[in-house]
Amino acid sequence: MALHALEDSGFFCVDNLPPELLRDFLLLETQRRDRRIAVAVDIRSAGSLPHLLPVLAQLKGEGIGVQAIFLDAATSALVRRFSETRRAHPLADRGALVEAIELERQLLAGLRQLSTVIDTSQLRPTQLRAWMRELVGAIDSRLTLVFESFAYKHGVPLDADYVFDIRVLPNPHYVRELRPLNGRDAEVGAYLQAQPEVLDMLAQIEAFLARWLPAFEADQRSYLTVAIGCTGGQHRSVYFAQVLAERFRSRSATLIRHRELDARD
């Protein structure tokens, strides 16, 4: 699904290329034509994965722009997907399904640490395609800030670098006129702007991020995901993600994700 989204965005896509061949393949492609390339690698190449991280480092050292994107999901979501499709896990010979998934996490831990992570646990296919297109479209030489709203009742996103809990703030859900609206609506924004504690929380989060962004940029991070959670992921967290993205847009590339709202669109 993710590879199809990149193909639709103009990438030349290759599925499960052995890591040992990655450098030679990319060098050949860059010499022959000017196009963006996406290569999918998964645990099917388990025996070759130790070669991948050194190859990525070598490519970057040679001036080839490489961006690693890691698709992750909660164990419960992965178990459900394998059960629904009735497909065997590539490491099924190593033990039960949950054991195979945990072994996969261990084998891919180094790659995950160096990658932009997308938590697919609760994403619909249309959401994943949209997020992938936005991500590759935003990648440039600057750090990209991703502001993601979510509902705590559905779990904390696995791809979050920072998580802010704003459930202590006044909830528009309990205002009858505002309940069917969301944080992108002007009426909800006006209600929240009238709450002093909302303004305090916004200012403190903004100050924290502004203080530490230079450190992340100096560390050559390509992305930073800031997850903001409320109870239902409809009003407060959506409003905060929108406002913070607007405030940081002039100094960083920004993306906005609304996990719960996007799932309904």
What percentage of the chain exceeds 90 in pLDDT? Answer: 41
DSSP, res 42: -
pLDDT tens, position by position, 22-78: 888 887 877 766 778 888 888 877 667 777 888 888 888 887 778 888 999 999 999
CA angle centred on 163, ends 103 and 143, rounded to 5°:
85
pLDDT tens, position by position, 116-129: 888 998 888 888 88
What percentage of the chain exceeds 70 in pLDDT? Answer: 96
The reported pTM is 0.63
Domains and CATH numbers, the chain: 2-138 (3.40.50.300), 144-264 (no CATH)
CB 52 within 8 A of CB 76: no
pLDDT tens, position by position, 181-195: 999 999 999 999 999
91-to-16, 34, 87, 97 alpha-carbon distances in Å: 16, 37, 12, 8
pLDDT tens, position by position, 93-119: 877 889 889 988 988 888 888 888 889
Identify the pLDDT of residue 46.
61
Cβ atoms within 10 Å of 144's Cβ, excluding its own: 19
